[in-house]
């Protein structure tokens, strides 16, 4: 069984690879085997109770990583442990301790009322009666499921079904919850509800959450730590704030002057990128403090108002993805 | 028990398709009439064909119609499972702490039970109303028939499961399922009882797994199998059931090892 040290690091991934061989037509009859390195030597650790965002463009290797972490794909190389268990060797034992939610697939029974699916989950995971009732009650309350329990799943809207799926993944008190695009296709209110619930679960039960998504608002609102994967390699692993710096992100100082003036000059570390009447935009490196800049501007210009804008996280990540082609090694480090 | 809950859930699921059940009963009944009159014409010309008298032949027809949906005699695969493999939804099933084959076997038994009640009883009753049938009078024969039908469902599922698993390698399994369905229609005895076919071909047909799906349970009901012959028939079904389920397990472990879940 897992010792105390292993419990600290609930997920351990060391140099894990997954190589698919794909047969390709080359001429009339000849077929050539191509190697696709879906995951190309990634390493990271996730301590118990952390909520980590795992992002990357389509085909970067996110789902492949999750499939290996749950044991349905066997890694081609490297070492993998979840709660001290080797997923590929003991898939069923691990399955009792993890929960998985796919935004685009459902684990619920299509033609039967929602509560029938939960009853099945109870038996499948052998959840003790008291725990089951308490968990179900909690989920029903927080996810507003009460009016849906008797409705056949096929009649649920996407947002309702998603809430139903998330509840189903939590009834057996999993230690780790993998969420694969849990807010895909949901409207703003459903997204907010799902996020709120995930925060609660994480805070209350200390459930470790690994979340893949294309919706960066998910990341910004849920995760303090982000891992970015591209072409099967981790190109970033660290805090959200650091991510902005890593992508050569620039912050913008927006100043309102008393009157229209020529572009501001001579402020060290900043350059004026836009002038519109009395308002001017100055770009400066995200890692630098805005205070000396503000002082420098205020000293020489009639300053009326100002604001600092953070770099758009989407731009930052787009830059990271683009940079991933030349293959820089993980700048954050684990 | 998890798997009894799966079977019960599947039973309830199919019970929600009421119009489909009604339509199915209608179809089975109409076909029952058509085939029954065809058999009557044939047995008028050739009495005791295959060792059956005319009442037994007509009973064979209605038994076939009664078991058609339940034992899935025209269906070569497990449509829902194939679809899940094709779309990649199978990944969700693989995350569960449950055995894939047992899960689907339980679900299929639940479906078969509902369809035996929903689509089997009425056509058989209608047949009995309009034709003199050779139905058994003793409860034991009925019980043996039920046991034999259950084994028939198991054999049918085990074979269809193999066909469905082929979808892990084929992009689309519907062609294979169609061929398998056609083979089943003929070799189960659905077209004509297998005993009618002469010589080596008839003997061979009665050794194939499809014979376990209709020919054997029908013979049990007709009283064409009693004593040692009855036990041999049940053993024959059980043997194919075990063999095909074991093959299914082998293929399943190969499939899950190579699994490249379609659609990411």
Mean pLDDT estimate for chain B: 93
* Mean pLDDT within A148-174: 93
pLDDT per position as a tens digit, A244-280: 777 666 788 999 999 998 998 888 888 888 899 999 9
pLDDT class for A327, splitting at 50, 70, 90?
very low
Distance between alpha carbon B89 and the CA centroid of its chain, in Å?
Answer: 26
The residue segments making up the domain with residue B90 are 2-255
Q: Does the pLDDT of residue B156 top 70, yes or no? A: yes
Residue B260 belongs to some domain of the structure: no
CA–CA gap between residue A4 and residue A25 (Å, rounded): 51
Is residue A211 pLDDT above 90, yes or no?
yes
Distance from CA of A196 to the nearest CA of B (A): 25
- The answer to whether position B181 is within a domain reads yes
Among A60-69, A323-332, B72-81, the minimum mean pLDDT is found in A323-332
Does the residue B90 lie in any domain?
A: yes
pLDDT value of residue B180: 95
* Strand locations in chain A (E): 9-25, 31-47, 51-55, 77-82, 98-102, 176-180, 208-212, 225-230, 233-239, 250-257, 271-276, 279-285, 303-309
* B95 and A CB contact within 8 Å: yes
* Mean pLDDT on A129-158: 93
What is the pTM assigned to this prediction? Answer: 0.83
Confidence of residue A20 (pLDDT cuts 50, 70, 90): confident
A288 pLDDT tier (thresholds 50, 70, 90): confident
Q: For the ranges A5-14, A37-46, A199-208, which has the lowest average pLDDT?
A: A5-14
First to last CA, chain B: 33
Taking the Cβ of residue A118 and every Cβ of chain B, the question of whether any pair is shorter than 8 Å is answered with no
B261 belongs to a structural domain? no
In a domain, B68, yes or no: yes
Q: Is residue B262 part of a domain?
A: no
Cα B248 from Cα B254, distance rounded (Å) = 10
> What is the distance between the alpha carbons of residues A42 and A45, in angstroms, rounded to a whole number?
10
Average pLDDT, chain A: 86
pLDDT score recorded for residue A331: 42
User: Which of residues 6 through 25 in chain B touch A, CB cutoff 8 A?
Assistant: 6, 9, 12-13, 16-17
List of chain A residues whose C-beta atoms are within 8 Å of the C-beta of residue B12: 112, 116
B263 in any annotated domain: no
B90-116 core/surface letters (b: 16 or more CB in 10 A; e: else): bbbbbbbbbebbebbbbbbbbbbbbbb
Of the given ranges (A51-65, A74-88, A311-325, B188-202), which has the lowest mean pLDDT?
A: A311-325
Assign A87 to helix, strand or coil.
Answer: coil
A106 and B92 in contact by Cβ < 8 A?
yes
Question: Quick check: B207 pLDDT over 50?
Answer: yes
The per-residue pLDDT for range B18-44, each reduced to its tens digit, is: 999 999 999 999 999 999 999 999 999
The total number of structural domains in chain B stands at 1
> Is residue B89 within 8 angstroms of chain A, CB to CB?
yes
Task: Give B241 to chain A, closest Cα distance, Å.
Answer: 25
How far is the alpha carbon of B260 from chain A, nearest alpha carbon, in Å?
8
Banded model confidence at residue A320, pLDDT cuts 50, 70, 90: confident
pLDDT > 90? residue A23: no
The predicted pLDDT at position A2 comes to 45
* Interval A25-45 mean pLDDT: 85
CA distances from A43 to A5, A11, A81 (A): 17, 10, 11
Q: What is the spatial distance between Cα A332 and Cα A244, in angstroms, rounded to a whole number?
A: 11
Sorting pLDDT into bands at 50, 70 and 90, what band is A184? Answer: confident
A124 touches chain B (CB under 8 A): yes
Kindly state the average pLDDT of the residues A185-195.
88
ipTM reported for the complex, 2 dp: 0.83
The model's pLDDT over B210-256, given as tens digits with 9 standing for 90+, comes to 999 999 999 999 999 999 999 999 999 999 999 999 999 999 988 88
> For residue B243, is it within any domain?
yes
């Amino acid at each position: 069984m897992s010792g105390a040290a292993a419990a600290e690091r609930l997920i351990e991934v060391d140099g894990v690879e997954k190589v698919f061989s794909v047969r390709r037509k080359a001429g009339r009859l000849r077929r050539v085997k191509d190697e696709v390195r879906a995951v190309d030597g990634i390493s990271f650790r996730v301590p118990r109770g952390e909520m980590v965002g795992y992002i990357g463009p389509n085909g970067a290797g996110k789902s492949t990583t999750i499939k290996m972490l749950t044991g349905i794909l066997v890694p081609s190389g490297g070492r993998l442990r979840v709660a001290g268990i080797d997923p590929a060797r003991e898939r069923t034992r691990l399955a009792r301790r993890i929960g998985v939610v796919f935004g685009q697939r459902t684990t619920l029974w299509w033609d039967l009322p929602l509560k029938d699916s939960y009853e099945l989950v109870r038996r499948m995971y052998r959840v003790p009666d008291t725990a089951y009732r308490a968990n179900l009650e909690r989920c029903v309350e927080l996810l507003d499921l009460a009016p849906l329990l008797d409705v056949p799943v096929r009649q649920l809207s996407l947002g309702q079904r998603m809430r139903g799926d998330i509840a189903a993944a939590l009834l057996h008190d999993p230690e780790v919850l993998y969420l694969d695009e849990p807010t895909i296709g949901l409207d703003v209110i459903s997204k907010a509800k799902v996020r709120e619930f995930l925060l609660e679960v994480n805070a209350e039960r200390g459930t470790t959450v690994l979340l893949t998504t294309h919706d960066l608002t998910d990341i910004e609102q849920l995760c303090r730590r982000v891992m970015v994967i591209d072409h099967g390699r981790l190109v970033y692993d660290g805090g959200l704030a650091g991510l902005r710096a890593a992508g050569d992100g620039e912050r913008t100082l927006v100043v309102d002057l008393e009157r229209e003036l020529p572009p501001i000059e001579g402020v060290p570390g900043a350059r004026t990128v836009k002038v519109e009447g009395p308002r001017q935009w100055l770009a400066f490196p995200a890692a630098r403090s805005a205070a000396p800049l503000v002082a420098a501007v205020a000293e020489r210009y009639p300053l009326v108002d100002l604001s600092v804008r953070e770099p758009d996280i989407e731009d930052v990540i787009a830059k990271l993805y683009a940079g991933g082609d030349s293959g820089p090694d993980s700048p954050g480090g684990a | 028990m998890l798997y009894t809950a799966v079977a019960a859930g599947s039973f309830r699921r199919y019970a929600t398709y009421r119009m489909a059940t009604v339509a199915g009963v209608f179809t089975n009944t109409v076909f029952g009439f058509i085939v029954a009159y065809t058999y009557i014409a044939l047995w008028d010309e050739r009495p005791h064909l295959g060792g059956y008298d005319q009442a037994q032949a007509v009973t064979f027809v209605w038994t076939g119609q009664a078991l058609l949906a339940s034992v899935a005699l025209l269906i070569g695969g497990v449509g829902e499972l194939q679809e899940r493999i094709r779309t990649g939804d199978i990944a969700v099933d693989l995350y569960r702490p449950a055995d894939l084959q047992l899960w689907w076997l339980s679900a299929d038994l639940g479906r078969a039970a509902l369809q035996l009640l929903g689509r089997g009883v009425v056509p058989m009753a209608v047949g009995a109303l309009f034709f003199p049938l050779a139905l058994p009078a003793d409860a034991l024969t009925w019980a043996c028939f039920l046991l034999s039908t259950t084994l028939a469902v198991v054999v049918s599922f085990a074979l269809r499961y193999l066909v469905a698993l082929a979808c892990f390698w084929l992009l689309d399994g519907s062609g294979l399922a169609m061929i398998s369905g056609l083979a089943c229609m003929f070799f189960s005895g659905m077209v004509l009882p297998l005993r009618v076919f002469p010589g080596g071909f008839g003997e061979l047909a009665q050794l194939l797994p499809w014979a376990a799906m209709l020919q054997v349970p029908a013979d049990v009901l007709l009283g064409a199998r009693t004593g040692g012959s009855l036990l041999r028939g049940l053993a024959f079904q059980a043997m194919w059931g075990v063999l095909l389920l074991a093959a299914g397990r082998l293929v399943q472990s190969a499939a899950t090892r190579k699994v490249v879940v379609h659609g990411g």
